[in-house]
């Protein structure tokens, strides 16, 4: 056991424990806050695994943006202070599927790697990853940008009810007049 192994074990235990609290807690807001702990521990894991850029991107996008969005959604929909009882449905099938897939994958991976040891490769700095992205993975990168644009437009269309309503009505002129009157 080297220092890296101890760090990986500790961060992994934190991540799994916080993940269990995310899916187990009865406080809506606390689930989001435990998600921050879980994602932060995973960012630490990436740092130990020498994936510097991925770790910082994880902190920026997941902890910085995705969790904030999720907490916004919690606040906008319903934010009861204190525990809520109606968050879960009876969960034996879920526990069976979750434990089955998790433990099954764990057994598979333990059997594949045993207690073997590898040397850590050169660190994945922004320079090296950028070289790979723009040399070998340019097409997927560009396709991803188109996908982000599509997701952006989709989210805007979904969250504006007046766009869908205009096309649903039979008389667009009446609908436009209605819109103007409401404004």
Partner 1 sequence: MRPVIPYVTAALLFGLGGYGVLRRRNAVLVLMAVELMLNAVNLVLVTADTTVRAVLPHSGQVFALFVIVLAAAEIGVGLAIVLQLYRLRASVTVDDVPLAERSSEGAAR
**Within positions 139 to 178, which residues make up the interface with partner 1, using CB under 8 A?**
140-141, 144, 147-148, 151-152, 154-156, 158-159, 161
User: Does residue 41 contact residue 55 with C-beta atoms inside 8 Å?
Assistant: no
Q: Report, in Å, the least distance between residue 30 CB and partner 1.
A: 11
Q: Report, in Å, the least distance between residue 47 CB and partner 1.
A: 10
64 CB neighbour count, 10 Å cutoff: 14
Closest to 5 (Cα-Cα) out of 68, 37, 49, 36: 49
Among residues 83, 137, 174, 176, the one that binds partner 1 under rule CB under 8 A = 137
**Token duo for residue 80:** 């009861």
User: Does residue 17 contact residue 35 with C-beta atoms inside 8 Å?
Assistant: no
| Cβ distance to partner 1 smaller for residue 119 or 181 | 119
For residue 114, give the 3-state DSSP assignment: coil
What residues contact residue 134 under an 8 Å CB cut-off, 6+ apart? Answer: 141
Query: Site residues for partner 1, window 76-135 (CB under 8 A)?
Result: 76-78, 86-89, 91, 93-95, 97-103, 105-106, 108-110, 113-122, 124, 128-129, 132-133
Give the Cα separation of 26 and 84 in Å (integer): 6
Give the Cα separation of 21 and 26 in Å (integer): 9
Query: Site residues for partner 1, window 12-51 (CB under 8 A)?
Result: 12, 15-16, 19-20, 22-23, 28, 31-32, 35, 38-39, 42, 45-46, 48-51
Q: How many residues bind partner 1 (CB under 8 A)?
A: 92
Residue by residue, DSSP assigns 42-76 as HHHHHHHTT-HHHHHHIIIIIIIIIHHHHHHHHHH
| Cβ distance to partner 1 smaller for residue 86 or 173 | 86
Q: Report, in Å, the least distance between residue 171 CB and partner 1.
A: 14
| Cβ distance to partner 1 smaller for residue 100 or 177 | 100
Among residues 37, 40, 44, 58, the one that binds partner 1 under rule CB under 8 A = 58
């Amino acid at each position: 056991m080297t220092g890296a192994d101890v760090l990986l074990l500790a961060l992994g235990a934190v991540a799994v424990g916080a993940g269990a609290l995310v899916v187990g807690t009865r406080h809506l807001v606390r689930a989001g806050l435990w998600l921050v702990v879980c994602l932060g521990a995973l960012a630490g894991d990436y740092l130990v695994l020498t994936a510097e850029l991925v770790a910082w991107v994880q902190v920026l996008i997941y902890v910085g943006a995705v969790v904030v969005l999720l907490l916004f959604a919690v606040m906008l929909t319903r934010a009861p202070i204190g525990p809520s009882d109606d968050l879960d449905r009876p969960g034996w099938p879920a526990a069976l599927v979750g434990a089955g897939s998790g433990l099954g994958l764990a057994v598979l991976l333990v059997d594949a790697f045993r207690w073997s040891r590898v040397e850590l490769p050169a660190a994945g700095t922004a320079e090296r990853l950028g070289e790979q992205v723009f040399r070998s993975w340019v097409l997927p990168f560009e396709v991803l940008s188109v996908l982000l644009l599509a997701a952006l437009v989709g989210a805007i269309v979904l969250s504006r009810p007046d766009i869908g309503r205009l096309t649903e009505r039979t008389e667009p002129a009446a609908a436009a007049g209605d819109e103007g009157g409401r404004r």
